[in-house]
Copies of this chain bind each other. A is one copy, B any other.
Amino acid sequence: MQNHTHAHQKQVTNRLSRIEGHVRSIKQMAAEGRDCPEILLQIAAARKALDNAAKLILKDHLEHCLIHAVNEGKQEKFLKDLQEAIDHYIK
Contact: A51 with B47, CB < 8 Å? yes
Contact: A44 with B2, CB < 8 Å? no
For the complex formed, measure the closest distance between the CB of A29 and the CB atoms of chain B, giving whole angstroms: 9
Copies in the complex: 2
Of B27, B65, B82, the residue contacting A20 (CB under 8 A) is B27
Q: Report if A46-B57 is in contact (Cβ < 8 Å); known contacts: A20-B27, A41-B84, A84-B37.
A: no
The complex places the Cα of A36 from the Cα of B2 at a distance, in Å, of 9
Contact: B40 with A85, CB < 8 Å? yes
**Binding site secondary structure of chain A:** helix
Contact code string A1-43 (vs B, CB < 8 Å = 1, else 0): 1111110010011001101100110110011111111011101
Contact: A36 with B50, CB < 8 Å? no
A20 CB contacts on chain B under 8 angstroms: 20, 23-24, 27
